Structure 1
Amino acid sequence: MKDEPNFDCQQAIDSLRGRFAFDFVSIALVQSAADQFVLTWQYASGNLNERYRRIVLHSGKGIAGMVFKTGKPMIIQNIAEELDPNDLFNYPIIVAEQLQTVCAVPLWKESRVDGVLLVGFREGNRLTTALLDEFRQYIDPSFGPYFTRELIEE
């Protein structure tokens, strides 16, 4: 995203949130090798507070870390049913933003994952098949230098 001067990341996620009525949209970007390739949430739309800015994730940790490490999307339809409440500390963005449904997809640049796009709702079971299909078709052309390989495993 930094390589594309005409691409406005904040405008892109604001537009995405408005188009699909998501409660929260955020992008985590990988930081340099000097920072041990940690991920930080750089852009957010619909955030309740600024806590997302202080979250630092290592590869394989948290939603962004797992999506970054595997290069595969992650969908949690109902946080309360699918995650153990004692494990929520491993998902700080869910706690900070009070999310109940999330979808995180890798953002590829050339041949590697360079970031993670997370969308979510503050109510459970809000990601319908129709919404995910429409989201999948919309996402690639709207994210400038980034693309997703697949949104949902076929």
Structure 2
Amino acid sequence: MRSKMEERAVKQICEKLLLEVNCEFVGFAIQNSHGPDITWRIAAGNSNDKYKRITVRYGKGIAGKVIATGQPIEIENFPDNISGKVLDYPIMLAEKLLYAFAMPIRIKGIPKGVLLVGKRTINPISESDQQLVKLAATEIEAL
């Protein structure tokens, strides 16, 4: 995030997504400009401010895996269907999410960020809601 204006724009996209998609949480994480760590910067529908203190390594947790693979990730019935340890998914734990769908955000074609929608129930989001998340990711990339 280079400017406060960009940050506000991303926050608005997250808040809009929270209203449009059948979900309870929307979060945006981005890889730090220096080093491989990824931090959660923006959230809507959050139950606390823990997300601000979460940093994950490249390849770890949802954010790290989405950025490492450049592919969307869907987690259903957390923590039953995960690879690795439960503690590798701090955003799921901090927000008590049981379901998440995360899209990569590409900067100059390279995955550098993550847009995540989550639910505190095990019900997945619909295919049309996933399309809305993809559209929002594209909007963020355009910033």
Please say whether Structure 1 and Structure 2 have the same fold, judged by a TM-score greater than 0.5: yes
Count, aligned residues: 141
**Over residues 10-38 of structure 1, what are the superposed CA-to-partner deviations in whole Å (9 max), with x where a residue is unaligned?**
111000001113100000011112xx121
Q: Deviations over 1:57-80 (max 9, x none)?
A: 111011100111110111012114
Counterpart CA distance in 2 for 1:28 and 1:132 is: 23
Specify the code of the residue in structure 1 equivalent to 2:104: P
Partners of 1:122 and 1:50 lie apart in 2 by: 16
Structure 1 contact 106–113 (Cα < 8 Å) conserved: yes
Cα RMSD, aligned residues only: 2.4
Alignment match, 1:104: 102
SS of 1:82's equivalent?
Answer: coil
Amino acid at match of 2:32: Q
TM-score (norm 2): 0.86
| CA distance in 2: counterparts of 1:5 and 1:112, whole angstroms | 22
Rounded Cα–Cα distance in structure 1 between residues aligned with 2:132 and 2:25: 19
Q: Which sections of structure 1, spanning at least 5 residues, go unmatched?
A: 148-154
Query: In structure 2, how many angstroms separate the alpha carbons of the residues matched to 1:136 and 1:63?
Result: 19
State whether residues 22 and 129 of structure 2, in contact with CA within 8 Å, keep that contact through their aligned partners in structure 1: no
Contact 1:108 1:146 survives alignment (8 Å):
yes
Partner in structure 2 of residue 18 of structure 1 = 19
The 3 A distance-change label for structure 1 pair 133 and 4 is farther
Distance 1:141-1:88 versus aligned 2 partners, 3 A rule: closer
Shift of 1:142: 6.8
Letter in 2 for 1:124: I
Matched-pair contact (CA < 8 Å) for 1:140–1:146: no
Does the residue aligned with 2:139 lie in a helix, a strand or coil?
Answer: coil
Map 1:27-106 to 2 at 5 A.
27-33=28-34, 36-83=35-82, 87-106=85-104
Is the CA contact 2:17–2:132 (under 8 Å) kept in the aligned structure 1? Answer: no
Partner SS for 2:2:
coil
SS in 2 for 1:48: coil
Q: Determine if contact 1:109/1:145 at 8 Å carries over to the other structure.
A: no
Percentage of matched positions with identical amino acids: 31
- CA distance in 2 between partners of 1:108 and 1:101 (Å): 23
SS in 1 for 2:14: helix
Q: Report the alpha carbon displacement of residue 103 of structure 1 after superposing the two structures with TM.
A: 0.6
